[in-house]
Amino acid sequence: MTDNLDLERFDEEPEGHKSGFVAVVGRPNVGKSTLINALMGQKIAIVSPRPQTTRTRQLGILTEPHYQMVFMDTPGLMKPRHKLDEFMVETAVSTLEEADVVLWLVDGSDMPGPGDKAIARQLAGLSDAVKLILGINKSDQLAPERVLTHTEAYRALAPQADWILFSALRGNGRDELLHMLIDALPEGPRFYPEDQTTDLYLRDMVAEAIREQIMLQLRDEVPYGVAVQTDEYKERPNGVTYISANIFVERDTHKRILIGAKGAQLRKLGAAARKEIEKLIEGKVFLDLWVKVEPKWRRNERALKRFGYSDNS
């Protein structure tokens, strides 16, 4: 993905230029992807109200004349239930080792739970060279009379961290958080070209756009047992991009739910995903979706590697 940037601004890095990697960590569904998309000013990571929407580490690269901030969006830290969960947790934990700054995102509308306390214990072992910032999100959902109680409870878990109460969705305090992150970056050169905004390939982003609609539209267990692969991506002479993608589910019942009566659900998913993909590539798309059954793929290391959920893939 590229933006229409004024490249003359970036000819030379100014004195005191800052750059670094910011790991955004926290429990599932605390707003990590929502925040990164908002700070980037564009959609980098898929978002849904369901936990475990993010499965892999994704980079959001924010470049301005005086700094380059590389956000590392990570899966939510949780207790693993199968091989896919294990991969997601390992991804989040390993990201901490690469970070210059760790932004620990929590849901300020709730009091800390066991998951938050487990993350706090893990973050206590961070190197002194890593800056820790506690981002208490969802201030818009926090009643005024509970602000002090909730913020003090989270601050007690990470007394070494700078902290801020904000809303990723509404924007309250978001600019202040961005300035905190900029201040925490070390001085250094850019790691990526100024017009690069993510490390994902178009095929990956297409698959994620399709999975996002599945997370948004389907119920119960079905979305969690879905993997999507882009099988074909061709720009045709008429200017339309042809995309074929396979949607893998674990059960025949899930396949029937995803397809729907006379294919209605699949058409609805395809139409919504196609609109998102057309925004992404800024052109017309013909999207061809196929649903296949891959039993227990989340527990199968070979399948995980095939679908890209493996460090060795």
pLDDT of residue 222: 72
Name the 3-class secondary structure at 120. helix
List the beta strands (DSSP E) in 158-255: 162-165, 227-235, 241-249
With b meaning 16 or more CB within 10 Å and e meaning fewer, what string describes 118-131?
A: ebbeebeebeeeeb
CATH class of the domain at 202-306:
alpha beta
pLDDT of residue 125: 84
For residue range 222-265, list pLDDT tens digits in order: 777 899 999 999 999 998 999 999 999 999 999 999 999 999 99
Query: How far, in Å, are 218, 219, 220, 258 from residue 254 at the CA level?
Result: 10, 10, 10, 6
pLDDT of residue 11: 56
Can you give the residue ranges of every domain in the chain? Answer: 7-184, 202-306
Low-confidence ranges of the chain (pLDDT < 50): 1-9, 312-313
CA pair distance 174, 43, nearest whole angstrom: 16
pTM over 0.85: no
Burial class, 226, CB count within 10 angstroms (exposed 0-12 / middle 13-18 / buried 19+): buried
pLDDT of residue 77: 61
Whether domain 7-184 has CATH 3.40.50.300? yes
pLDDT of residue 138: 95
